[in-house]
């Protein structure tokens, strides 16, 4: 949970290029160890591989966000981050569709080898990105993802993080505490409340990811054209409140598609939120602290994602007699999004009246 913070500080200290290659290399080594454990059917080796993978993966996400923000801030930042998110979500969808069939046909080792091959491809792309960045630096020293010695991160920079950043981070953790746990329980909800089989439920619960993969670049491009980031963040919270309120009120039925509406609304609300929130961070912190800011936001988000499934499980287990436990689970999601909406409205007010509308501008 704290690795993104350490990774963010590390990036701001040594530079984004070196950090990106290092973290991607660690991730690739982790997947290799995991794959070897799969071929050997050695659980301890597989666990070691996942630990190494996690050490690189979380920090690599921070590095990706940081280098994209350096290259595209003030131009097509939201669009670039939307493309990044879209590829990520498509990867999740393809993984769910392809890897199980490879596992059923060839076994665990070959299935994990696919993941290792993708990690190697990712490492090659990281090296190519560093080459492109160095080339851009020769042409225009101000365009590269390099931190000058007098601009490197200092611990005192943390004191410069204003209220907007901390409100944005609080909003982020609350929103993600509802979106991902809802998607995680959606398959079981579709089976118990609407009596779908596992295969159909598996297709349906992926609807938010599919919507996100398709719409993220489009939404990012729109944000780059019109701005209004804080307003869109407020809009996304309202859509998520509507989604979970709708899910809470839907009656039980046999293989009807009532839950598709909340799933679609969740996909729309999440896509708008993610497209606006991550592109806002570079506008409210100093350039020398962008990596650290992404790291802190990601780490706090991860803390929420650890806590939320436990809370959801407790609520569901203690209210099983009412709508299979999902009435109060959805009520919990509505509650935290209402709190998130209040934070987002505060962010909008502070941005307009104290920060000169920096999030409102193109």
Query: Is residue 9 domain-shared with residue 120, that is, in the same domain?
Result: yes
Query: For residue 144, what is the DSSP state?
Result: S
Q: What whole-number distance in Å separates Cα of residue 16 and Cα of residue 273?
A: 26
Residue 167, pLDDT score: 95
Closest of 35, 52, 43 to residue 106, by C-alpha: 35
Query: 351 near 164, Cβ under 8 Å?
Result: yes
pLDDT recorded at residue 324: 83
Helices (H), the chain: 3-14, 16-40, 43-72, 77-106, 108-139, 163-192, 198-204, 207-226, 229-249, 260-277, 281-284, 290-318, 326-353
In a domain, 300, yes or no: yes
Q: How many whole angstroms from its chain centre is CA 140? A: 31
Which residues in the chain show pLDDT less than 70?
1-14, 73-74, 96-97, 141-159
Residue 331: what pLDDT? 95
CA distance 215 to 224: 14
111 and 226 in a single domain? The answer is no
239's CB contacts (< 8 A; 6+ apart) are: 265, 268, 269, 272
pLDDT at 150: 46
DSSP letter for 196, please.
Answer: -
162/133 same-domain check: no
Are 27 and 81 within 8 A, CB to CB? no
pLDDT of 156 reads: 57
Rg (CA), the chain: 21
Number of folded domains in the chain? 2
Same domain, 332 and 247: yes
> Of 141, 166, 193, which closes a domain?
141
Task: Assess if residue 146 is contained within a domain.
Answer: no
Range of the domain at 346: 157-353
Sign of CA dihedral 343, 348, 351, 352: negative
- Which residue among 141, 165, 182 closes a domain? 141
Whether residue 359 lies inside any domain: the answer is no
Dist. CA 54–CA 39, nearest whole Å: 20
Return the residue matching tokens 């998130």: 340
Residue among 285, 344, 9 at smallest CA distance from 165: 285
> Do 175 and 206 reside in the same domain of the chain?
yes
Question: Among candidates 70, 68, 197, 252, which has minimal Cα distance to 143?
Answer: 70
| pLDDT value of position 1 | 56
Give the CATH number, domain containing residue 129: 1.20.1250.20
Helix, strand or coil, per DSSP, at residue 16: helix
């Amino acid at each position: 949970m704290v690795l993104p913070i350490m990774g963010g500080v590390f990036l701001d200290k040594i530079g984004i290029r070196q950090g990106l290659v290092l973290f991607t290399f660690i991730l690739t080594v982790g997947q290799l160890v995991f794959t070897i454990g799969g071929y050997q059917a050695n659980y301890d080796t597989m666990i070691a591989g996942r630990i190494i993978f996690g050490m690189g993966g979380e920090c690599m996400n921070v590095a990706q966000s940081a280098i994209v923000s350096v290259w595209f801030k003030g131009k097509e930042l939201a669009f670039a981050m939307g493309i990044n998110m879209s590829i990520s979500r498509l990867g999740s969808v393809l993984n769910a569709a392809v890897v199980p069939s490879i596992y059923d046909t060839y076994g665990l080792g070959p299935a994990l080898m696919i993941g290792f091959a993708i990690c190697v491809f990712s490492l090659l792309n990281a090296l190519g990105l560093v080459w492109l960045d160095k080339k851009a630096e020769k042409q225009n020293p101000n365009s590269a993802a390099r931190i000058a010695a007098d601009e490197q991160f200092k611990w005192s920079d943390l004191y410069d993080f204003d209220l907007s950043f901390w409100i944005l981070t609080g909003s982020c953790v609350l929103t993600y505490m509802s979106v991902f746990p809802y998607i995680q329980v959606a398959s079981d909800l579709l089976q118990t409340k609407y009596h779908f089989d596992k295969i159909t439920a598996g297709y349906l619960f992926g609807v938010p990811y599919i919507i996100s993969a398709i719409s993220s670049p489009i939404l990012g491009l729109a944000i780059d054209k019109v701005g209004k980031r804080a307003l869109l963040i407020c809009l996304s919270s309202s859509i998520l409140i509507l989604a979970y309120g709708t899910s809470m009120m839907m009656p039980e039925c046999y293989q009807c598609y009532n839950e598709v509406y909340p799933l679609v609304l969740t996909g729309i609300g999440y896509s708008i939120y993610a497209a606006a929130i991550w592109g806002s961070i570079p506008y409210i912190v100093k350039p020398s602290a962008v990596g650290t800011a992404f790291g802190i936001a990601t780490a706090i988000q991860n803390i929420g994602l650890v806590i939320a499934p436990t809370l959801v499980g407790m609520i569901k287990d203690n209210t099983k007699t009412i709508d299979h436990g999902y009435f109060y689970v959805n009520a919990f999601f509505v509650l935290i999004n209402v709190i998130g909406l209040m934070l987002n409205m505060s962010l909008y007010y502070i941005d307009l009246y104290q920060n000169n509308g920096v999030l409102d501008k193109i």
